């Protein structure tokens, strides 16, 4: 009999055990639940049975839920559809909308082996030679996702198909303008240029929304086993995912980024230009607008970092070292300035003089 006292926060072990036993043949009790660091918004648990078979359970956070966020049914639908389409995602076990089990919707999927590369030290899982394979297969995986026919995959009604960048710019800028506590000229100028020079969308694709090397499970051979964290998935411009990935892709010798210790700085990984070239070859898409999508990604990160700074400055995290608060403030500005550099590169490539685009 499973010990109810052993249930971790967010999981009712007896209830989940009964639910899972109806779906997994010869489930070997008792089950063990370990909270995973993978999955930054929704809660993720690795579930193990007595013979060390493993699964992953995902559920919303215990508090602070937003009406449109943490939609487990939507995540389950997306992953299930992608699994049926043959894309690299975990196998789905099942979904529950019965609040009597956990007090919230949840789903369970198969556990994917391999490892997650979040930091430079995690890259030690791969030999230097295999790191090149990993970078290129990451791009091949992204191209595979973007090549899927959204209707054939059963996701054609997931979201609007056009206006991806316009919608995102309006949403993020509106939130920033409503809550900002200081002016950030570089972020404002970047926004104005981004809004004025949205490139034409070439294809309607499934857009992951947060596609980076730390959101996949990687095998020792440098092959992507599965893509994780689909909570931001939508339909739209495939270059949005490429921009997200490249904004987090640093090269050897560069300092660590303001938000992460980029594993791509380790020797062996392809350069940004090589990654972009690989994606272009695999996807067949024109990537000349990649600096636009990279600029957008940095601009959005700047606003996210600004929000963190404002929460620190407002005391939401209690008493903190003022130096830490200032670091977040400085990083927000750095990200905004980096966004501005990329959007100016893009407009220059399009033959638009910078001065003509600066707000008057």
For the chain, list the domains and their CATH numbers: 15-110 (3.30.200.20), 121-357 (3.90.1200.10)
User: What pLDDT, in 10s, does the model give residues 46-73?
Assistant: 999 999 999 999 998 876 554 455 799 9
User: What pLDDT, in 10s, does the model give residues 9-40?
Assistant: 889 999 999 999 999 999 999 999 999 865 55
At 256, is the secondary structure helix, strand, or coil? coil
Q: What is the DSSP letter of 93?
A: E
CA separation for the pair 193, 268 (Å, rounded):
35
CA separation for the pair 200, 228 (Å, rounded):
28
Residue 355 confidence (pLDDT) = 43
**Least confident range of 46-55, 71-80, 116-125:** 116-125
CB 299 within 8 A of CB 187: yes
For residue 93, what pLDDT band results from cuts at 50, 70 and 90? very high
Q: Examine the pLDDT at 353 and tell me if it is beyond 70.
A: no
CA separation for the pair 38, 330 (Å, rounded):
27
State in Å, rounded, how far the first CA of the chain is from the last one: 71
Residue 258 confidence (pLDDT) = 56
Tokens of 61: 């956070």
* Nearest partner of 248 among 187, 309, 184, 338, judged by Cα: 338
Return the beta strands (E) in the chain as ranges: 32-35, 43-48, 54-59, 92-96, 106-110, 205-207, 216-218, 224-227, 234-236
Residue 8 confidence (pLDDT) = 83
Which string of DSSP letters, residue by residue, matches 158-196? SS-SS-HHHHHHHHHHHHHHHH-SS--HHHHHHHHHHHH
User: What pLDDT, in 10s, does the model give residues 180-217?
Assistant: 989 999 999 999 999 999 999 999 999 999 999 999 99
pTM of the model: 0.91
User: What pLDDT, in 10s, does the model give residues 241-274?
Assistant: 999 999 999 988 776 665 667 899 999 999 999 9
The mean pLDDT of 3-11, rounded to a whole number, is: 67
């Amino acid at each position: 009999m499973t010990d109810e006292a052993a249930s971790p926060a967010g999981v009712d072990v007896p209830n989940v055990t009964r639910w899972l036993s109806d779906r997994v043949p010869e489930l070997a009790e008792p089950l063990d639940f370990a909270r995973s660091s993978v999955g930054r918004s929704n809660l993720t648990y690795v579930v193990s049975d007595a013979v060390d078979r493993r699964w992953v359970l995902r559920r919303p956070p215990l508090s602070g839920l937003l009406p449109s966020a943490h939609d487990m049914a939507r995540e389950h639908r997306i992953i299930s559809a992608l699994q049926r389409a043959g894309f690299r995602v975990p196998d789905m076990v099942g979904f529950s909308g019965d609040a009597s089990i956990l007090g919230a919707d949840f789903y369970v999927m198969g556990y994917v082996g391999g490892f997650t590369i979040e930091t430079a030290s995690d890259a030690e899982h791969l030999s230097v030679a295999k790191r090149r394979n990993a970078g290129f297969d990451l791009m091949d995986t992204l191209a595979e996702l973007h090549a899927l026919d959204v209707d054939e995959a059963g996701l054609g009604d997931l979201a609007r198909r056009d206006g991806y960048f316009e919608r995102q710019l309006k949403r993020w800028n509106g939130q920033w303008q409503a809550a900002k506590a200081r002016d950030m000229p570089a972020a404002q100028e970047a926004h104005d240029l981004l809004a004025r020079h949205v490139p034409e969308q070439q294809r309607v694709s499934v857009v992951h929304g947060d596609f980076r090397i730390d959101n996949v499970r990687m095998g020792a051979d440098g092959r992507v086993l599965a893509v994780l964290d689909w909570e931001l998935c939508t339909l739209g411009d495939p270059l949005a995912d490429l921009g997200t990935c490249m904004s987090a892709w640093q090269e050897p010798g560069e300092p660590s980024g303001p938000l992460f210790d980029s594993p791509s700085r380790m020797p062996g990984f392809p350069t940004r230009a090589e990654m972009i070239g690989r994606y272009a070859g695999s996807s067949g898409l024109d990537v000349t607008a990649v600096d636009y999508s990279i600029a957008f990604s940095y601009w959005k990160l700047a606003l996210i970092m600004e929000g963190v700074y404002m929460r620190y400055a407002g005391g939401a995290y209690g008493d903190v070292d003022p130096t830490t608060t200032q670091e977040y403030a400085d990083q927000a500005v750095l990200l905004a300035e980096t966004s501005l550099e990329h959007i100016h590169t893009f407009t220059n490539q399009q033959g638009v003089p910078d001065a003509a685009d600066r707000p008057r």
